[in-house]
Each structure stands twice: as structure tokens, then as C-alpha cells.
């Protein structure tokens, strides 16, 4: 209820400060941040290739939209294709009992494979249906979002922002519900202690695979929304720097929280947008510096730090320290 | 005679050239309580790991209630209704006592029933005062007790405990003994243990491991007075 | 006949360049269990150091073999003192921090050298085998890779520093207990690792057009070569570079260079799925 209210106010107020065109992409990035925040912060799965699912969603949408000429089915496919791809990839990794570094290598390598492959498809022989893959040039000129069933009624500009914002709110509420459900609690249990959960009779491999696929579905949806916003998809969506950014958003915002990754994504993307308007200091340099500084000095991220402070100052009992310890322990576990 | 709930035939585990468990034949009947003892490296922990699916034996087979489970994974074995506790406290540190036990209950019950079961176990194990505390902040003995709660909440018919009394105070051990006897009313129990005091207080039948094989299997008093056992095990300890 | 010689040279070259590209990362990972994701940028800086030195009139071989490793080694030393040493034992955090460093260095290089391609010509002329033209510089790379392996083996086997290093690789706590300061060992290791990355970047610089983002092309390859190699430093490096180099070249010849790259990556995924501990986790156990 409160979430819905806060969201409604945000959707109403924010366009007064920032143009809806920019806001739309911030919302989309927020959703992408949430997708990794879910599987990493609550499932303990560090994926170095979340961008792969983002790109896959965007490309699926673009290709399907060109072939179908209407946006409803492509939107659905853009969620399903990354989810199925992630389910297969996840099954391969988790049933092979791969953990931390190896998980990192494989997700990173798979992202690279997709990047290299898509990049090399500039030739006219690479077509899916009537859509040319276009290699490094990307795919422009596909049907953008329209009212379901009416390909001529485009949703764009301010209305597109509202569609994205509402979808973001819906995804957020679904994630919240998921985390409150048994599935979510069991996922957190697995993050905390995989062996114990297996000894209690839970099939850790299957559950991690499902969670991984859910994360990919959200990333895919974000990808499709991004494709609609940019009206072109390029191989850069799959790039390692895109993957790095998603990880940075989560770290800066705060792992193990739902709003952290969203705020981290929107905040840093907006910062990048502002920095892009000056040319004194290179953008990448600042992104890198932020990541290093956060890992060194504020490894649990902004949101937990702020809520911790809040609790120290206002709560009768100093919960903040406990939360800090909890986060630190989680990190230690990630670090094997 | 009660039904045989756990049985191994020729269970053998090799690591390279080392034979950690050698041709172990073992039988456990329903509601029996058995301690596995032996010096370090005698193979009792390897046996424990093979039975719980944490390791797959090189040769031989494991049967539970007539089902062959040799190649099974821990979660499949646990799902049969087998409660397992490993050597070190193995719990979800960032979660509360209630959440830990609830996760154990949820595997076998719907959410509402799981919550009811959790309250019941918390009461039975006298964990009420710390139910909301995070496991990471609890003392060793309390963590061990919570882990027994995780085991008990699934209503197991077979319970496998690896050194449940290790590093605990006398008071904690006494409490633990009570819980184990309580569990034993409905479940067969295997305890891997070092502490002879604790074994005397809890068990009647004891299986002695030595160099990967079963040395003898008898009543605790006869085992204690047996010269061979004193030699390989107690002698070394003294 | 000529073709098979050419293919053989190309294969050797592919393996040699993988060894070069991965050596720095392997040393740091093997000794310190630190994955340096800025490794590619260290190579990129080695390339820029070489080009800058050459444009200032320094002999190209001097620039490649001495200046670039030294410059990058010193940069590595600073990085170790400022960042890495605070994160020892935290594998994932080091990966994240070095990823940040990688972006930082890309940005820095962009500000200094601009986002344009620079390069130098290869100092060794090509020659023909039958109807085929071969790049003479490829031989230089093969020789350097062989020398590098021999040098690493000699240092590890025959010197006191190598003995301490081997001890630290096995049990860093024991090395510390014996009175060797892990702090200094790690510092020295990171210097050596960075210098090797710098050397690799410098050696490869004449073959590629250098841009600030060049490092990205190497990091994934180096990363998978090291991880797939497993716990043994030299045997792991050699076996996985050999395996991936050959897979890459077979598919490059049979289909296209892009497919060769993709085949390499796919082979890595399959290999890690089958041998999660890397090649030397299963074979050549206990070798260096």
C-alpha cells in the first residue's frame, strides 16, 4: 500500500524535475538493477553477465517486432526467451555445482560469446524471418510499443514513460511478494547456507536455476523496454561494460535490499547523464573510481548504510550494528 | 524384531591410495540408538558422509527402509525423512532462530502448518527467549541446539548426528541428551562421537571403527571393558 | 606442405600469445588467489608505454622488453598498496575492485591519449613460405613465450625467491609462520604479475591498433586460460593455453576468425563444466 502510494507520488512528481525521456531510461535501468539485485542480493548468485539477458530481451523484441509488426507478442517473447536461456544456462552451472569464481567466468564468457556473435552478423546472410541482425550496426526501425491489438496506436513520449513506470512498480511488487513467499525465504536460506538447505531436503540446484531464470526474465523485460526507448538495438547491450555497470549499481545501492539496486541504477545512470554533458573528466574513469571506493569504504552500499544510521539514531535498540554484521557476513560468504 | 531402517553392504571409500572405509556392513533397526566411536581417521566420519550422500562411496551399497540410496544426493536422502546434523554448526547465520526452524518445517509442511510446527519445536527445545535473535549472535551451544531443532522439525524416522556434543558445556550436553532421548521415541539415531562420558550417558549399543573397518559392535559396557578396544582407542586417549 | 607449415606456425603463435596474455594474471592468481580484472588494462598501458617510448626515440626492443614491464610493474605496485592489500582473502571483492580499476584506467588513458587508434609498425619483416606470407614478428612472440616459461620455471625451481613463492602458493599461513612477511611477498608478486602484463601488452602492441579499450579483448581470454588451467602455475598455463590455442586455430582455419573466438569460449564453458577444478586440478597434480 505504502509502496503504491510512494510510487504514485514519484511518478507524478519526478517529471517536473527531469525530462520524461531521460526518466524513462532511468526507470528501465532501475528494473535491470533490480533483476541482478534479486538473484545476487537474495539468492547469492553473482552473475557477471546480466547484460546478456538484457541484450537478449532487447534483440528478441526487435526481431519479433519486425517479423510480427505488432508489439504485444514480442514483449512476451522478450521476457520468455531470456528466461528460458537462463534456465538452460543455470541448469548447466548449478547442476554442475559450480560456485563463485567459476560462475563468474561462465556468465562472463557467455556474455562475450553473444557479443562476439552478434557483432559478426553484419552480412546479409544473417536473417531471422525478415529481420536482418545487422552485426555491429544493430537493428533499427522496428515496430515500437503499441496498444495491444492496434499496431497504429503507438505509445511514446510521456505515455511511454508512464507505461514503464507502472511496469516497474508492478515488477517491484511482484519481487516483494516473491521474497515474502516460501520460495523467497527458501532462496534466502540457500544464500545463507547451501549445504544446510540441502541437508534439510531442499533441491538447491533446481531452486537456484528457477531464481536465475526469474532474474533473467526481469532483465529481458528491461531490455525490451530499452529497445522501445532507443528505437534501435546494438551489440553494446551485451558488452562487458554494461554488465559491469549493473554490478556497480547493485553495490552502490546496496545488496540484500529491494530498493538499493533500483536507486543505485537510476542514481548512477543520472550521474552519468550529467557527467556526459561535460568533457573535463572522462565518464568511465569516474564510474571505475566509484566502484573502487565503494568496495573499499562502503561495501554494503548506500541504502543499508542509511537505514542503519536511521536505526542507530532513532530506534531504541541499536539494530544498525546487527544489520551491518549481517551484511558483512553475507559478503564473507560470497568471498568464499 | 523391528524393521531395519538403515543397512550398508560392503561400503568402501577410497581416496587415491587411502582406504577410508573398508567393506563396512552395518544394520540399524527402527528406534535404535547407536553410537559410532573410534580414534581419529577410523572411518566413522567417512561412513557418515557416505550414508548422508555428502560423498558417494567407491563400492558397496546403502539402503534405507529397503530403498537403495547409494548414489543419492543429500537433499534426496533428507527428503525421505532423514534428519542430518553435520559436525560444525551448520545454520543460516543471518536469519533468526524462528526463520531457521521454519525453513526446516516448510520442507515437509504448508506454510501455516510450518509456522505451527516451528512454535512447537521452539517450545520443546526451550528456545523461546532467543527465537527472534539472529543465529550469528548466538553462543555455540545454542547454535547446536537450534540445529537439532532443524533436524527435529521434520519428524524424522532416522537421525544422523556428527559429534553433537563437541565443544559444549556440561549443562548444554545434558539438555542435548534430553532432546536426543525425546527424538529417539520416534526415530532411529546414529551418533558419531568422541566424548566417552556423553556416550555412556546416552547409548547402549556402540559400533567401534578402526582403520576404516568395524572392529566390534556390542553393548557400551562390554565395549569399554574390551581389551582390544582399550588398546586401539582408549589407550591412545589416556 | 607449405600450408601445413603455415598452419603449424599459426598454431604455435596462437598458443604463445595465449601464454603471454595470461602469464601476468596466472602469477597473481596462483600466488595470491587474486583475480585481477584490470589485467587487460595493464596490458593496454604496456602498449602505450611502448609506443610513447618509441616516439621519444627509444629503441623498440628496449621499450618492449624493459621500459613497458617496468612502468606497468610500478603502476601495479601503487595499485597493490592503495587497493588490493586491503582486500586480501576476499576473492569477490577484489574482482569487483579491480573491475573498477579497469574502468578507471580506461578513462585515464582516454583522457591522456584520446579515443583514437595509435600503433607502431612491427620491427621484424615478414617472409614467404612457398606461396604463403608469414609475419616474422609471430616468431618473435613464440620465442618470447618460450623464454618466459623457461624463465618462470627457473626462478621457481632454482632460486630462493622461487622457493618462498612456491611455499606461499601451497600454504601462505605457513610461509608467514616461518618468518616470511606475506605482505612483502604479495607486493613483490603483484609487481612481477603487473610487469608480465605490461610485457605482454608491449609485445602485442605492434600487431594491434591500440585504443584505451583494447584491454577488454584480452581479459576474458586470460581469465579463462588461468581458471581452466587450474592450481598449477606453469603446467596449467601451458596446458590450457595449448588446448584453447589449438581449438581457436582449428575453427579459425575451418570457418572464420570470429567462429574461432567463439569456439574458444564455448570450449572454455564445456571444459569448466567437466573439470570444475581446471585441467591441473585433475591432471599433472602437484606439478609447478
C176 pLDDT higher than 50: yes
Mean pLDDT of chain B: 89
C178 pLDDT higher than 50: yes
pLDDT band at B1 (very low <50, low <70, confident <90, very high): low
B156 pLDDT higher than 60: yes
Chain A residue whose CA is closest to B150 = A200
pLDDT at C286: 59
Is A123 an interface residue toward C (CB < 8 Å)? no
Q: Which residues in chain C have their CB less than 8 angstroms from residue A285's CB?
A: 103-104, 106-108, 110-111
pLDDT band at C58 (very low <50, low <70, confident <90, very high): confident
Cβ distance C95 to C37 under 8 Å? yes
pLDDT at A321: 43
pLDDT band at A320 (very low <50, low <70, confident <90, very high): very low
pLDDT band at A108 (very low <50, low <70, confident <90, very high): confident
| Mean pLDDT calculated for residue range B29-51 | 89
A240 CA to chain B: closest CA distance, Å?
A: 32
Would you tell me which residues 93-122 of chain B have a C-beta closer than 8 angstroms to some C-beta of chain A?
93-95, 99, 102-104, 106-108, 111
- The sign one gets for the Cα dihedral B152, B48, A191, B79 is negative
pLDDT at A314: 58
- Percent share of chain A, pLDDT over 90: 55
pLDDT band at C287 (very low <50, low <70, confident <90, very high): low
Chain A residue whose CA is closest to B133 = A322
Could you identify the residue written with the cell 572522462? A282
d(CA C227, CA A37): 26
Backbone angles phi, psi at C278, to 5 degrees: 85, 170
Burial of C139 (0-12, 13-18, 19+ CB in 10 A): middle
ipTM of the complex: 0.90
Determine whether the interchain pair A105/C223 forms a contact, defined as Cβ–Cβ distance below 8 Å: yes
d(CA A253, CA A268): 9
Q: Give the three-class secondary structure for A155.
A: coil
A253 pLDDT higher than 60: yes
CA angle C280, C284, C288 (to 5 degrees): 80
From residue A153, alpha-carbon distances to A78, A140, A147 in Å are 20, 19, 6
| Mean pLDDT calculated for residue range C32-50 | 91
Burial of C209 (0-12, 13-18, 19+ CB in 10 A): exposed
Cβ distance B83 to B159 under 8 Å? yes
Q: How does strand B59-64 pair with strand B4-15?
A: antiparallel
| Mean pLDDT calculated for residue range C231-247 | 89
Q: Give the three-class secondary structure for A150.
A: strand
pLDDT at B220: 87
d(CA C16, CA C139): 10
Q: Lowest-pLDDT range, A39-48, A93-102, B207-216, C29-38?
A: A93-102
C15 pLDDT higher than 90: yes
CB pairs A-B closer than 8 Å: 73
Cβ distance A230 to A21 under 8 Å? no
C285 pLDDT higher than 70: no
Determine whether the interchain pair C262/A113 forms a contact, defined as Cβ–Cβ distance below 8 Å: yes
Chain C residue whose CA is closest to A279 = C111
pLDDT band at C24 (very low <50, low <70, confident <90, very high): very high
Q: State which H helix or E strand residue C248 sits in.
A: helix C233-254
d(CA B14, CA B55): 11
Could you identify the residue written with the cell 551489440? A235
From residue A116, alpha-carbon distances to C169, C224, C249 in Å are 35, 16, 17
Q: Which residues in chain A have their CB less than 8 angstroms from residue B102's CB?
A: 185
A256 pLDDT higher than 70: yes
Nearest CB among A182, A192, A201 relative to B75 is that of: A201
Q: What pLDDT, in 10s, does the model give residues C193-225?
A: 999 999 999 999 988 888 998 888 788 888 889
Q: What pLDDT, in 10s, does the model give residues C60-71?
A: 899 999 999 999
Is A199 an interface residue toward C (CB < 8 Å)? no
d(CA C45, CA C170): 31
Nearest CB among A109, A244, A296 relative to C224 is that of: A109
User: pTM for the full model?
Assistant: 0.88
Q: What pLDDT, in 10s, does the model give residues B91-114?
A: 999 999 999 999 999 999 999 999
Would you tell me which residues 128-147 of chain A have a C-beta closer than 8 angstroms to some C-beta of chain C?
none
Would you tell me which residues 141-200 of chain B have a C-beta closer than 8 angstroms to some C-beta of chain A?
150, 154
Nearest CB among A196, A203, A322 relative to B91 is that of: A196
Nearest CB among A93, A244, A335 relative to C99 is that of: A244
pLDDT at A53: 97
Please give the residue that has the higher pLDDT: either B29 or A327.
B29
Q: How does strand A146-147 pair with strand A139-140?
A: unpaired
Determine whether the interchain pair A288/C100 forms a contact, defined as Cβ–Cβ distance below 8 Å: yes
Amino acid at each position: 500500500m505504502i509502496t503504491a502510494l510512494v510510487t504514485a507520488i514519484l511518478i507524478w512528481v519526478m517529471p517536473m524535475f527531469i525530462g520524461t525521456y531521460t526518466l524513462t531510461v532511468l526507470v528501465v535501468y532501475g528494473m535491470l538493477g533490480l533483476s541482478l539485485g534479486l538473484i545476487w542480493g537474495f539468492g547469492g548468485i553473482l552473475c557477471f553477465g546480466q547484460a546478456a539477458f538484457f541484450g537478449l530481451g532487447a534483440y528478441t523484441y526487435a526481431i519479433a517486432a519486425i517479423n510480427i509488426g505488432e508489439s504485444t507478442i514480442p514483449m512476451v517473447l522478450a521476457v520468455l526467451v531470456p528466461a528460458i536461456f537462463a534456465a538452460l544456462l543455470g541448469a548447466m552451472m548449478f547442476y554442475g555445482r559450480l560456485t563463485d569464481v567459476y560462475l563468474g567466468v561462465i556468465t562472463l564468457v557467455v556474455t562475450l560469446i553473444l557479443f562476439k556473435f552478434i557483432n559478426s552478423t553484419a552480412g546479409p546472410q544473417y536473417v531471422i524471418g525478415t529481420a536482418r541482425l545487422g552485426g555491429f550496426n544493430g537493428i533499427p526501425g522496428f515496430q515500437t510499443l503499441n496498444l495491444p491489438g492496434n499496431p497504429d496506436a503507438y505509445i511514446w513520449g510521456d505515455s511511454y514513460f508512464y507505461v514503464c513506470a507502472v511496469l516497474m512498480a508492478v515488477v517491484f511488487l511482484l519481487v516483494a511478494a516473491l521474497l515474502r513467499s516460501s520460495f523467497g525465504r527458501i532462496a534466502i536460506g540457500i544464500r545463507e547456507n547451501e549445504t544446510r538447505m540441502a541437508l534439510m531436503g531442499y533441491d538447491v540446484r533446481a531452486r537456484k536455476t528457477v531464481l536465475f531464470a526469474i532474474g533473467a526474465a526481469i532483465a529481458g523485460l528491461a531490455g525490451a523496454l530499452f529497445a522501445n526507448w532507443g528505437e534501435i538495438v546494438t551489440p553494446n547491450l551485451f558488452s562487458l561494460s554494461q554488465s559491469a555497470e549493473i554490478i556497480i549499481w547493485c553495490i552502490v545501492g546496496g545488496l540484500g535490499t529491494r530498493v538499493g539496486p533500483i536507486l543505485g541504477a537510476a542514481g548512477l545512470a543520472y550521474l552519468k547523464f550529467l557527467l556526459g554533458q561535460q568533457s573535463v573528466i572522462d565518464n568511465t574513469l569516474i564510474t571505475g573510481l566509484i566502484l573502487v571506493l565503494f568496495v573499499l569504504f562502503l561495501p554494503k552500499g548506500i541504502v543499508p548504510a542509511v537505514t542503519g544510521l536511521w536505526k542507530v539514531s532513532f530506534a531504541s535498540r541499536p539494530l544498525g550494528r546487527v544489520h551491518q554484521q549481517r551484511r558483512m557476513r553475507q559478503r564473507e560468504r560470497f568471498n568464499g | 524384531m523391528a524393521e531395519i531402517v538403515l543397512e550398508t553392504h560392503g561400503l568402501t571409500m577410497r581416496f587415491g591410495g587411502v582406504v577410508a572405509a573398508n567393506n563396512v556392513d552395518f544394520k540399524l533397526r527402527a528406534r535404535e540408538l547407536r553410537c559410532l566411536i573410534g580414534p581419529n581417521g577410523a572411518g566413522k566420519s567417512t561412513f557418515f558422509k557416505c550414508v548422508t550422500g555428502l560423498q558417494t562411496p567407491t563400492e558397496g551399497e546403502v539402503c534405507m527402509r529397503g530403498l537403495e540410496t547409494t548414489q543419492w544426493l543429500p537433499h534426496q536422502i533428507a527428503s525421505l525423512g532423514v534428519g542430518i546434523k553435520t559436525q560444525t554448526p551448520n545454520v543460516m547465520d543471518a536469519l533468526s532462530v524462528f526463520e531457521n526452524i521454519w525453513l526446516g518445517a516448510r520442507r515437509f509442511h504448508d506454510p501455516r502448518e510450518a509456522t505451527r510446527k516451528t512454535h512447537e519445536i521452539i517450545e520443546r527445545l526451550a528456545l523461546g527467549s532467543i527465537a527472534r535473535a539472529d543465529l550469528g549472535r548466538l553462543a555455540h551451544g545454542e547454535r547446536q541446539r537450534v540445529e537439532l531443532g532443524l533436524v527435529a522439525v521434520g519428524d524424522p524416522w532416522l537421525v544422523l548426528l556428527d559429534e553433537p556434543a563437541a565443544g559444549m558445556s556440561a549443562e548444554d550436553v545434558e539438555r542435548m541428551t534430553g532432546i536426543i532421548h525425546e527424538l529417539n521415541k520416534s526415530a532411529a539415531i546414529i551418533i558419531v562421537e568422541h566424548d566417552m562420558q556423553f556416550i555412556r550417558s546416552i547409548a547402549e549399543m556402540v559400533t567401534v571403527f578402526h582403520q576404516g573397518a568395524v572392529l566390534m559392535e556390542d553393548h557400551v559396557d562390554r565395549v569399554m571393558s574390551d581389551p582390544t578396544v582399550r588398546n586401539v582407542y582408549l589407550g591412545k586417549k589416556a | 606442405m607449405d600450408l601445413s607449415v603455415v598452419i603449424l606456425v599459426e598454431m604455435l603463435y596462437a598458443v604463445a600469445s595465449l601464454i603471454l596474455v595470461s602469464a601476468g594474471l596466472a602469477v597473481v592468481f596462483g600466488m595470491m588467489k587474486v583475480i585481477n580484472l584490470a589485467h587487460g588494462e595493464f596490458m593496454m598501458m604496456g602498449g602505450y608505454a611502448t609506443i610513447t617510448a618509441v616516439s621519444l626515440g627509444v629503441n623498440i626492443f628496449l621499450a618492449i622488453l624493459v621500459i613497458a614491464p617496468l612502468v606497468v610493474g610500478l603502476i601495479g605496485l601503487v595499485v597493490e598498496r592503495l587497493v588490493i592489500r586491503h582486500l586480501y582473502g576476499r576473492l569477490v571483492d577484489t574482482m569487483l575492485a579491480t573491475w573498477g580499476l579497469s574502468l578507471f584506467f580506461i578513462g585515464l588513458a582516454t583522457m591522456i591519449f584520446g579515443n583514437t587508434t595509435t600503433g607502431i609498425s612491427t620491427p621484424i619483416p615478414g617472409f614467404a613460405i612457398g606461396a604463403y606470407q608469414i609475419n616474422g614478428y609471430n616468431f618473435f612472440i613464440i620465442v618470447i613465450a618460450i623464454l618466459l616459461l623457461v624463465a618462470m620455471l627457473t626462478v621457481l625451481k632454482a632460486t630462493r625467491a622461487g622457493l618462498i613463492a612456491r611455499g606461499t602458493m601451497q600454504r601462505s599461513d605457513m610461509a608467514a609462520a616461518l618468518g616470511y612477511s606475506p605482505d612483502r611477498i604479495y607486493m613483490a608478486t603483484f609487481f612481477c604479475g603487473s610487469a608480465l602484463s605490461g610485457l605482454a601488452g608491449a609485445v602485442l602492441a605492434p600487431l594491434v591498433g591500440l585504443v584505451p579499450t583494447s584491454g577488454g579483448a584480452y581479459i576474458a581470454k586470460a581469465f579463462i586460460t588461468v581458471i581452466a588451467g587450474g592450481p598449477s602455475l606453469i603446467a596449467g598455463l601451458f596446458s590450457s593455453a595449448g588446448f584453447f590455442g589449438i581449438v581457436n586455430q582449428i575453427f579459425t582455419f575451418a570457418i572464420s576468425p570470429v567462429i574461432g573466438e567463439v569456439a574458444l569460449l564455448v570450449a572454455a564453458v564445456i571444459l569448466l563444466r567437466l573439470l570444475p577444478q581446471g585441467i591441473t586440478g585433475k591432471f599433472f597434480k602437484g606439478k609447478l
